[in-house]
Structure 1
């Protein structure tokens, strides 16, 4: 059992959070009951395999029940929901969370803030989901905003979570336009607050992480202005654990990661069912959850710690240090895959090396004919009266499929022509290119300026909205 409980004052991103620890951390009074405190972010759907979906399916509790039988110990799981990473870190500093999941920037702050306290020192032990392009962070503006590019935000108020990967994405995006954060008015807000501020006209733009930008797009209250993938810097969410808890209960940590792996496999094998389950548990629209967590989705769910993700952490460190959010952090010491190696065994190195989509979109195109197997053009539609989705080889074929059906469409998903990122067909800006093949003539773009640029470079090409594209199919 844990032997030390202390009183700490946690300084996170310039805010003082004073917390008092209760006695009896870890084990129960009888010495045979171990309480495991799990911190998660229910609405951050990139973490569902270590949070919402894991909790809802009871997989971790099942693993602990088996472990308890073997050890003669009763395990009790306490799930603690947080809106973002910083308050979760505050509770880890307080010794109130043993294992937690959060985004890459908060994870670095977590590692830096806990490293000087032996009883709460944390380590990064697994990933939940990632996007190697960085497309999990985006900037959106109201649908009627005059802004065409991120440069048009000069002097405007932009809401973001200060110190988050989305904040870093905003800085990088502005830099690509020859600007800095000083050229906009950054307003630090939690994601839900920022979303409301955008809808209420109180800010010009929202720079945030999953699922907030695309939720606003789906609601019809925003459009995408800038995709974080433009910088090509990977972004991800991951699992951190109290190192001392792991020393005292390594089998519990291994059980958690075993349960996370099983949950990840379930999501990748049953993406629609998993999306519906997450939506039911969180209140998020299932269509938005499925955009991120479905086949060819914006998130690759994979617990393994890939070198590209560790490299991305190293690239993010200087930005957070410039904010005064953390001191230096030894990533070689902080990142530890020993538990995962126990869970995966001989399969681990091969799993780490693979960056293939774990849930590719496949099937047969019943309108254009042939197999659907390409990440670059594979598309999908979810009809309101259907229990499953339908697939198409290309966005053009998808529009034909929609036009041939009388049923209402819950959501249709297409890949951006230039980047391949998954987006809502209805929210896309479309280009009709008569020089393309008959099944490839209608091209979707996530960002209006990209569509206009493509049309200008291709004689005869015209920019269309969704309804016009449906007619032109």
Structure 2
């Protein structure tokens, strides 16, 4: 197998025509505000990583590169420019990525899905929010209401699956309208819609900005979702080494995010305006999604499901052969060149691990089910705590010292996903321990089964503050 990958990584040059003295365009479409694409776009561009890996020997010895970047707010216009031959690479989610493959096919061309960038086999990242003042606490309460969503997006697929799981008729039991994230934000602020379903990071960004509450997370559907990278197949056939170089740059970007998530969350904020605390929610240890560049079976299935749903939505009538559309030879070659074990990563389903000590006791944290974290404004690193009650005690002290708290995170007791604690519900059990949940009814059910009282974040913080006096 190593011989095969080495041939892919090095021997491409034996198969392709010479590119001596050629000026080669490398045109990449990014989605900067879709922060799970960061390792395939924004960070590569901002840190100049692609230039490190573009081939400069053999048939590329005298080649000159023209690197072009173009940013988009969604996948559809990016796909239009790829099909028109204006872009060579693009980064987008499973649904728009599948539509990319269909659009190329309809134009008599072919695109390839070459790598995952970040995702969740549970489906977390997509979500549904309601206006902050809404009385709605769960999706079930939205029957007969209006829900907006960017049509043909991965969030649209999540919404349809969620409705199907409730045995609702999407044509009768709920009114679904198309709305882009930037329009939905204004509509939520002015209470002009009952709810909005969206993709990364908006279902968490809007609550963080205070004008919405998250009442459904995509993990509740159990349907995998991801963002990944695509390339024009014709371009890949002509310049396979450049495709591998692009993925080498993405691998380094991913490694940098893993090593210093706070630093690069700040960089993403500087470029996009999306707050670093939301970026850290995804990219930090035990984050809401897992950065993973391997083609796990669940992500392959997500593509197939996306194609089926696009047909259901009548956005296409075409079938797309996922076996040829998903092409992992380039990411395998990039892993090989980087000295990484692709097979090992393929079997690794763990979240980005946390190796840290409790900010109060200094002892290593070895159990993460009740992990809580505080990011103090002006501090380079997030503080870690072994439990929510420990972190809330520290929060009271920090606020007493006049510290500005940037974010408070906690892990959901049931799903294990990272939560913005200010949006969470807590159950204090008879031992005084706090367990966090995304939804009020999840917390109340846990309290009924295990004993304890249900609290919102303000009440939990108030109780802990009183106990600390």
Q: TM-score, normalised by structure 2?
A: 0.89
The 3-state SS of whatever aligns with 2:406 is: strand
Equivalent in the alignment of 2:429 = 433
Identify the match of residue 445 of structure 2 among 450, 453, 459.
453
The question of whether the paired residues in 1 share the 8 Å contact of 2:21 and 2:64 is answered with no
The question of whether the paired residues in 1 share the 8 Å contact of 2:148 and 2:184 is answered with yes
Verify: 1:130 aligned to 2:119, yes or no: yes
Verify: 1:393 aligned to 2:390, yes or no: no
Equivalent in the alignment of 2:325 = 334
Distance 2:302 2:409 in 1: 28
Distance 2:209 2:356 in 1: 29
Distance 1:57 1:79 in 2: 13
The 3-state SS of whatever aligns with 2:28 is: strand
Distance 2:106 2:213 in 1: 43
Identify the match of residue 100 of structure 1 among 76, 84, 90.
90
Change in 2 beyond 3 A, CA 1:449/1:144: farther
Identify the match of residue 463 of structure 1 among 439, 454, 469.
454
Equivalent in the alignment of 1:27 = none
Q: Deviation at 1:404?
A: 3.1
Matched pairs, number: 438
Verify: 1:408 aligned to 2:408, yes or no: no
Equivalent in the alignment of 2:418 = 422
Q: Deviation at 1:55?
A: 1.0
Equivalent in the alignment of 1:354 = 348
Equivalent in the alignment of 2:159 = 170
Verify: 1:152 aligned to 2:141, yes or no: yes
Verify: 1:63 aligned to 2:53, yes or no: yes
Q: Deviation at 1:376?
A: 2.1
The 3-state SS of whatever aligns with 1:115 is: helix
Equivalent in the alignment of 1:442 = 434
CA deviations 1:122-165 (Å, max 9, x no partner) are 01101110111101110011122122321221221111011111
CA deviations 1:166-223 (Å, max 9, x no partner) are 1111111122222132221111122221222222211110100011111111111111
The 3-state SS of whatever aligns with 1:301 is: coil
CA deviations 1:360-384 (Å, max 9, x no partner) are 2221114356322334222211112
Distance 1:68 1:149 in 2: 59
Equivalent in the alignment of 2:5 = none
The question of whether the paired residues in 2 share the 8 Å contact of 1:111 and 1:123 is answered with yes
The 3-state SS of whatever aligns with 1:413 is: strand
Change in 2 beyond 3 A, CA 1:138/1:270: same
Which 5+ residue runs of structure 1 have no aligned equivalent?
1-29
Equivalent in the alignment of 2:69 = 79
Q: Deviation at 1:431?
A: 1.9
CA deviations 1:301-335 (Å, max 9, x no partner) are 12221122102222333221111122211100111
Verify: 1:219 aligned to 2:209, yes or no: yes
Q: Deviation at 1:454?
A: 2.2
The question of whether the paired residues in 2 share the 8 Å contact of 1:217 and 1:223 is answered with yes
Change in 2 beyond 3 A, CA 1:322/1:94: same
Change in 2 beyond 3 A, CA 1:67/1:45: farther
Equivalent in the alignment of 1:181 = 170
